[in-house]
Amino acid sequence: MAPITPHLSEFYYQKMRSKGDEESIHLLELKNAEQKIVNKKLEEEMQKAKEAAEALLALRDENKLKLRWQLKEAALQTQSGKEFAKTKEILARMANVKKVTEQKNAPGFKKFASKELGTTIAVSPASDELAVFKDTATGKTKKLGTTFLAEQGVKEKKLGTTKVFLNLEADEELKQEWELSELLRRIQYSRKKAGLKPGQKASLLIECSDAGFVKKFKARIEKETGTKLAEQELGTTREKLVEREFSIELKA
């Protein structure tokens, strides 16, 4: 318990310790793990998942996408297609993507809007170096190099025999979630700066370059920030968060 709940562990240790025991639980040596119950295969998979997460986070950083902005998906290309069977969900949380898939071939991101083909196409991976795309309108197939993925907003990194792909494409719904997340952070910061206590209600005056956005998320903003919202022209400088500009003012 001590590494996870240090204060609680210390409290109970002090209640139970006897004369001659160490003064603090944090001075005790951890017992050796029982080797018979150690799952070496799972430990190795978890280590690979950590390395994959670091690669995905690096791709985020390179493309200036904040970790708190959730992305749609990431993909892993491995030799067996089963190397991350037990850790894909953990990896998705670490990289903040909605889902992680794994396969032997290039990633099967389902649809792309292709200027080259002039229509929406479905992807059917064929090999490490080449992907075959089927035109859903004509039924014809066309081979395109993996550079096509990069042109469609898919970035990749190589980790030994594993390739990590991150889909950077964000539709309007996803971008609105990013915008809302940033707005809620700004409002909570304003509450803290104003000295408001948790549970203390406040009036929120807000001006936005997109009135429809505020109207759509009004109930959620009020619930998550403990405020009563009113749209109003404040005449102050607006701050751009993601794609929209906001000006906010709190009144206790």
Same domain membership, residue 138 and residue 47: yes
Average pLDDT over the chain reads 83
pLDDT at 59 > cutoff 90: yes
Q: When comparing pLDDT for 173 and 33, which is higher?
A: 173
Same domain membership, residue 53 and residue 164: yes
Q: What is the pLDDT of residues 133-165, one digit of tens each?
A: 566 667 666 655 555 555 557 888 999 999 999
Cα torsion angle, 83, 88, 91, 92, sign: positive
The answer to whether residue 1 is domain-embedded is no
Q: What is the pLDDT of residue 97?
A: 95
Total domains, the chain: 2
**Whole domain around residue 104: which residue ranges?**
40-169
Q: What is the pLDDT of residues 81-117, one digit of tens each?
A: 999 999 999 999 999 999 999 988 766 554 444 444 4
**Bridge partners of residue 158, in order along the sequence:** 163
Instruction: Give percent above pLDDT 70 in the chain.
Output: 82
The answer to whether residue 28 is domain-embedded is no
The answer to whether residue 8 is domain-embedded is no
The answer to whether residue 115 is domain-embedded is yes
Q: When comparing pLDDT for 31 and 100, which is higher?
A: 100
User: What are the contacts of 115-118 at 24+ separation with CB within 8 A?
Assistant: 116/144, 116/148, 117/142
Name the domain boundary from 106, 134, 169. 169
